[in-house]
Amino acid sequence: MATVTVYGAPQSTFTRSVCMGCHEKGIDYELELTRPGGAGGINPFAKIPVIRHGEVTLYETPAILRYLDRSFGGPKLWPEDAYGAAIVDQWIGVVGDSLRSSAQLYMAARFGLAPAPAEMVQRYLDKARMVIPGFDRQLGKTRFLAGDAFSAADLLFAPFYFYFADVPELKVIVDQSPNCHRWGHEIATRPSVAATEPPAKLPLAN
């Protein structure tokens, strides 16, 4: 029997972050398929992912990853020192704010998953044009997003990044971001990425 149950969909960016985290730490887990908005019985906000570990139920991806990192052995997803941990949290915040409000919602709108006025879609695209160069500058200074060690920040960023190639307007932006390209190529070789590759990317991206 698996140690952790993850409620979510493999196409969901945040579900994939949690599953990648389990793989990185060697945690035995099972994924119980739950559509976006379908977790109302275990999350008062009905969002995915949610995890159950014994008597513990948790939602919100950063909180889940922090819990897994503190509760299980394996490689650390946050460094021990206060400043290093804060930098990881900083970039997790940037991903959750800047990309969720631009790239993720833009993709949903573009593929008809979350209807939005054209001017709103354009704002999402403009936001992506503004923020992705910031990721590229950071990755020009460090091997991974929050420093020279793989961390939870990379787990949050990677599932978004791997969708960019599917959206021509976003692909143009990342094609002009050589450091993101270098990072993405390296991240793609990690076993956790191969193990969590969605069977079909677009229908449930969330």
Q: Which two tokens stand for residue 60?
A: 């919100």
Q: What is the DSSP string of 116-155?
A: --HHHHHHHHHHHHHHHHHHHHHHHHSSBTTBSS--HHHH
User: Residue 12 contacts by C-beta under 8 Å, 6 or more apart in sequence?
Assistant: 36, 48, 49, 204, 205, 206
Report pLDDT digits (tens) over 135-189: 999 999 999 999 999 999 999 999 999 988 877 888 888 899 999 999 999 999 9
Strand order in the sheet with 29-33: 29-33, 4-8, 50-53, 56-59
CB of 46 closer than 8 Å to CB of 60: no
Report pLDDT digits (tens) over 75-124: 999 999 999 999 999 999 999 888 876 666 666 655 556 556 677 778 77
| d(C-alpha 23, C-alpha 63), whole Å | 17
pTM for this entry? 0.91
User: Residue 173 contacts by C-beta under 8 Å, 6 or more apart in sequence?
Assistant: 128, 129, 132, 164
What is the assigned CATH class of domain 82-192?
mainly alpha
Res. 7: pLDDT tops 70: yes
Cis check: omega of the bond before 159, within 30 degrees of 0: no
pLDDT at 205: 39
Q: 161 or 206: whose pLDDT is higher?
A: 161
- Sign of the dihedral defined by the CA atoms of residues 122, 125, 129, 134, in that order: positive
**CATH 3.40.30.10 correct for 4-76:** yes
| d(C-alpha 39, C-alpha 49), whole Å | 8
Question: Where residue 36 falls among pLDDT bands split at 50, 70, 90?
Answer: confident
Phi and psi angles of residue 147, each rounded to the nearest 5 degrees, phi first: 150, -155
Task: Break the chain into its structural domains and give their ranges.
Answer: 4-76, 82-192
